Homo-oligomer: A and B are copies of this chain.
Amino acid sequence: MSGIRRLAQQLNLSIGTVSRALNGKPDVNEATRQRVLEAAAEIGYAPNQAGRALRRGSTGVVGFMMQTGSEITGEGDVFFMSVFDGVQTVLARHQLDLVVLLCSSEQDSAEYMKRIVARGIADALIISATKRVDHRIDFLASRSIPFVALGRSQSDAGHPWLDLDFEGMARQGVSRLVGRGHRRIAVYAPLDDTNLGFVFIDAYRDELARRGIEFDPALVFRAHPNERGGHDIAHAIAGLPAERRPTGFIFTNEMMALGLYNGLYEVGLVPGRDIALIGRDSPQTHFLVPKLTSFTLSLRDLGITLAESLLATMPGFSDIYPRGLVRSVIPLNLIEGDSDKMTVERT
């Protein structure tokens, strides 16, 4: 408190005004807020008020847990950095800092989470890559730590979550390809028990069934979620006997496209001519020939919504973000390309 007292004295403001300015409350005029923040920075005072308002909190830090490791992010990332950008935009309004908690794929994510909580690094958490059954969810709920999940799970602690519309991608993808005569439509699925794999495959099977197409497990290609994975899938497709080979392929991972295109060209299959492709948009896909038909969404907006959904559950912020308990599936937009224009003769 002596920090705030000193600031108030120095700036000739009331302690209440300084506190409201430091906490990003709306009833302080912008010029005053600037003066307070500059003076606080000058004396190296980190406003912990925001932190104290949190359930456990005193760090003023929100943690974002992501999976890393040479088999996942070893080739880079074109998803999380943009999401972080959106999260930071919201946290900066309240002088909260975002730290990224890197959980190596070699570690058990639930054990990692316990350790992070024991270390007291963050007051609130954003978790990603949710599993079908995710012990992190029960653990965080049992400790009353505010969190939001990026991804659904069968584990339900009445917590807020956001997820991408993997059902929509499966249904729209299958529908487009079937409309062009395809019957052998392959899909990508993750190697592990990440929940999005189940959601996507379930909707894919259901959509095939609705159209009277039998599900063939050989058309589900599991691979690492990156360029190497895309490359591996291209070779796996080429390895099938011609009559069992898919004529179309739908993938929901944003890192795969370059490896997939390259792999297909290597094995003599031309994307868009020998196999129709529907994928996920990323900065890299803009340079592909033929242009990839892809699903897209604003990752920055996703980050903003994640952060606001988290704050909405936290005392001290819920009045600023009266969103209630957010549980929503975010639709993606389809960008028409040339990679899925080919038609298949019905036999």
- Hey, which bits of chain A sit against chain B, CB under 8 A? 41, 44-46, 48, 59-61, 63, 68-70, 73-79, 81-82, 84-85, 88, 92, 97-102, 104, 106-107, 111, 114-121, 227, 258, 261-262, 282-284, 286-287, 300
Contact = CB atoms under 8 A, between A and B. Distances in A.
B76 A283 contact: yes
A68 B44 contact: no
- Kindly name the residue among A68, A92, A100, A287 whose own CB sees the greatest number of chain B CB atoms within 10 A: A287
Contacts of A74: 81-82, 85, 300
A82 B119 CA distance: 25
B115 A46 contact: yes
Nearest to A38: B111
A116 B44 CA distance: 10
Nearest to A78: B76
11 contacts: A41-B114, A45-B118, A46-B114, A63-B99, A73-B82, A77-B77, A88-B104, A97-B102, A97-B116, A97-B121, A262-B286
B68 A76 contact: no
Contacts of A73: 81-82, 84-85
A68 B84 contact: yes
Contact of A76 (B81, B98, B111): B81
A68 B81 CA distance: 8
Contacts of A75: 78, 81-82, 283
A63 B78 CA distance: 22
A62 B313 CA distance: 29
B119 A97 contact: yes
Contacts of A59: 119-121
Nearest to A45: B118
Given A69-B85, A102-B98, A60 B119 contact: yes
Contacts of A111: 41
A44 B117 CA distance: 9
